[in-house]
Amino acid sequence: MKEALEYSPKILVSQLIDLLFNDVIESASTVTDQSQWRAMGMQAQSVSGESTTDSMVISARLIPVLSPTLKPFVLFTSVSLSYDMVDMVSTVDPRFEAYRIMNEVSGRRVVNVEMEPAEPPLDRLEPLVTVTVDADAREALEMYVKAAQEVCGKGFILDVAWTGKTDVSTEEFIRYVARAHTRMGIPPVILDVDQ
Amino acid sequence: MSLVASGLYLDTSVVISLIASESCHRDVKKFMEEAPKPHYVSTWTLAEALGVLSKGIKSGKSAPGYQLLRKQMVRVGSYLSQSEEVFNYLTERLSEWIAINGIEVCDDLVNNAELKVGSRSVKTFWVIRNAAELAARFGLSAADAMHLAYVWKLCPGTFLTFDSDFVRITNLIHSFLGIKIHVLECKKK
């Protein structure tokens, strides 16, 4: 673990989470304030460091992903993220899964995740999780189509938003969205078969 | 399950059940997984499916996908007419469905048949000429006869359908054309 972290005394919260996921560390927390972090290894080794300014922004954005019960801007403060907690969060909160999938597809360009209860007729597939990526529309929609297959059957609907310019026509937008809907298994309309 | 022919031709009712039905699609999927490939549809299947899906949306049936599209379109800020929107959305849905499921679309033979009408022979599509013959021989609707015409000459295999109208002529069709028809039952949950 030491080797893994040694070259990166300043670390983004998202990188810390990656280390957690990849079995490099067992738990992570902030120490006293949010400028310091500490991670525990599998054999109880302890490594600490300074969080970068960026990490504060990212941590604020990740709060709803990791735990909706945490207060804003206090991610990790006196809270230890163990695997049990991650598993629990990923089971009960689709935001976590949506974040994981889109972050992988986008090359860590997720900047926000929001969830809302879906209204009828989408409520049968609810909830709707909107992931915003740091990209223009075309690139974001290509990511959306790629991610859609993995979302199928996971109990939520994925939507995508982007921070950049809207560089697609309405027709192109519809085509991207239609492909993603098909991959997620969302019926365009519900019909009886005996038509 | 005993399927005599090499492929499986999907009637529109089967395509609809896979794309837009909650009650039977698991049964169909299971059947198709065990059935020999290729699995075919025709351009006629696609035209019929587009019509059925569009009619469903426009008649106000529960439309999760289309409603989500409408919600998402706020992000592009410009809209098409409803007919353009539905056409673009549904054609891409079908196209993607075909691609991800490895479904093949039969080629039509174009301008290669003649149908004697009045005092002259009219150039026509093969499938329309054959459908006319099958409709007359077996008392089928033109729409059903079109599907059968595809299986007869253009994409041979077992004909898979939910349409119970085919039950009465299953043996007849098999005897005359060598086509096996498998009529699925939908046990609604």
What is the per-residue pLDDT for A88? 38
**Long-range contacts: B139-145, Cβ < 8 Å, 24+?**
B139/B169, B140/B165, B140/B169, B141/B165, B143/B44, B143/B48
Range 37-96 of A in CB contact (< 8 A) with B: none
Which of B15, B62, B186 to mutate against chain A (most A CBs within 10 Å)?
A: B62
* Residue B128 to residue B110: CA distance in whole angstroms: 10
Instruction: Give pLDDT, residue B102.
Output: 93
Which residue in the set A120, A168, A182 is minimally distant from B76, CB to CB?
A: A168
- Contact call for A173 and B77, based on CB within 8 A: no
pLDDT for the residue A114: 87
B67 and A137 in contact by Cβ < 8 A?
no
β-partners of residue A133 are A110, A162
For residue A184, the distance in angstroms to the closest alpha carbon of chain B comes to 10
Cβ <8 Å between A181 and B67: no
> In chain A, which among 141-180 make CB contacts under 8 A with chain B?
149, 157, 159, 161-162, 166, 168, 170-171, 173-175, 177-179
Partners of residue B92 in chain A, C-beta under 8 Å: 174-175, 178-179, 182
Q: Which residue of chain B is at minimal alpha-carbon distance from A130? A: B72
A187: closest CA among B56, B13, B103?
Answer: B56
B154: closest CA of chain A, how far (Å): 25
Q: What is the pLDDT of residues A35-54, one digit of tens each?
A: 555 555 555 555 555 555 44
Inter-chain CB proximity B64 and A183 less than 8 Å? no
**Nearest partner of A177 among B100, B91, B114, B62, judged by Cα:** B91
User: So what's the pLDDT on residue A123?
Assistant: 73
| B20 → closest Cβ in A177, A183, A189 | A189
Closest residue on chain B to A172 (Cα) = B88
Per-position b or e across A164-175, b if 16+ CB within 10 A of its CB = eebebebeebbb
Cis status of the peptide bond prior to B38, with omega within 30 of 0: yes
pLDDT at A1: 40
pLDDT by position in tens, chain B (length 189): 444 447 999 999 999 999 987 677 888 888 888 888 899 999 999 999 999 999 999 998 889 999 999 999 999 988 899 999 999 999 999 999 999 999 999 988 876 788 888 888 888 888 999 999 999 999 999 999 999 999 998 888 999 999 988 998 999 999 999 999 999 987 655
Per-residue pLDDT of A121-140, as tens digits, reads: 777 777 899 999 999 999 99
Q: Which of B15, B88, B98, B147 to mutate to test the interface with A (most CBs of A within 10 A)?
A: B88
What gap in Å lies between CA A18 and CA A110, rounded to an integer? 14
Q: What are A50-93's pLDDT values in tens digits?
A: 555 444 333 333 333 333 333 332 233 333 343 333 443 444 46
* Single pTM value for the model: 0.74
CA atoms within 13 A on the CB side of B50: 20
Q: Are the C-beta atoms of residues A189 and B20 closer than 8 Å to each other?
A: yes
**pLDDT category of residue A21 using cuts at 50, 70 and 90:** low
The Cα of B119 is separated from the nearest Cα of chain A by a number of Å equal to 39
Residue numbers in B near A183 (CB within 8 A): 96, 100
pLDDT value at position A38? 59
Name residue B183's beta-bridge partners.
Answer: B161
